Amino acid sequence: MLEPVVLTPQPAPCPPEFIHIELPGGVRVSVDAAVDAGALARVLSVLR
């Protein structure tokens, strides 16, 4: 009998000019250079 194959989800490719942030728990955030730093800080504080 064959064992079932478990597929691990792969992140979608993102352009190289993006910053990729991976948080504990598997949350991934990708932003470009035009991101508002204050808004990003607020989003990251909620996700932690």
The number of residues in the chain equals 48
Any domain includes 4 = no
Q: Whole-model pTM?
A: 0.58
CA distance 28 to 19: 10
Any domain includes 39 = yes
Largest CA distance in the chain: 55
Any domain includes 37 = yes
Return the pLDDT at 15: 74
Query: What is the span of the domain harbouring residue 22?
Result: 17-48
Does pLDDT of 28 surpass 80?
Answer: yes
Any domain includes 48 = yes
Return the pLDDT at 1: 66
Any domain includes 23 = yes
Q: What is the mean pLDDT of the chain?
A: 83
Instruction: Give me the number of domains the chain comprises.
Output: 1
Any domain includes 28 = yes
Q: Under a CB-based contact definition with an 8 Å cutoff, are residues 34 and 15 in contact?
A: no
